[in-house]
Structure 1
């Protein structure tokens, strides 16, 4: 963990967002069979917010989540239980976000360097200055570091769950998180 205020601001902002997502959106009737509609209703917005933090674009994030739910629908008969379905969705959102970022990187190679992809005025107005500073600092991180921080502090996942969702070892998760927090703190400190 960081010893300065930058890391604490990151943790606080992402934890605050996670608490918003911890509230159940709808209650599933106990004993009733779980349907894909139940999962969509209960987890869609949580997955969209996760994707937004990874890809930094609301419409792209919604596309990523829609693709994740389409994949879940295709594999519905092979799932063990609701926990497996949510894990499948989370992994699909992370992998879909990675694909989006790879495509962006490729597209950037063909875009003149003077063109900048700026965030919309609406999305900027929705975040407080502190939240915006954290999101801006997150956007400077390499994709793996961003994924690990978002899954840890926004998603509230353990190191083991992050390792499973991203396909990296627990040790790599731990060291990546440490380096990412240091980098975010440096970026936020340089802007202060």
Structure 2
């Protein structure tokens, strides 16, 4: 009886010989590759980018790149590897762009009011708006959501991502600051 490792080697060798003796498959055309592999590539891209529409765009770009470089391929068997690598690399690019877009914070811009909007405000309303604009951003958000948006404390907490207690204390400090500014 042959040792276990020797038996596996013989089995691998016989599989290789059968693969060599098998008739070669005709080379794939780009159309055949598209029909056979498109959905597999879309599923791969969905797993990488988490959005079906973006995944389909990634796969479409990969097939477009393959079409442009079809003449430069060594053989049609290399096309599947090229396609898979293009899908993975494009998915990585999408994720990098997504991460960059999420991290971007536009520079602070002062809200300049138009002359028409200022003329329409009453003097008292203008004083309140000016006092609100002098508050720190979080205090301004809480007061605007509470008194202009008519939201409850729990709704404000959900909208701003702070606790209900923080909403209460922020509103209290903001109202105190408004009273001092308006007096």
Per the normalisation by structure 2, the TM-score is: 0.42
Per the normalisation by structure 1, the TM-score is: 0.40
Whose RCO is larger (CA < 8 A, sep 6+)?
1
- The structure with the larger Rg is 2
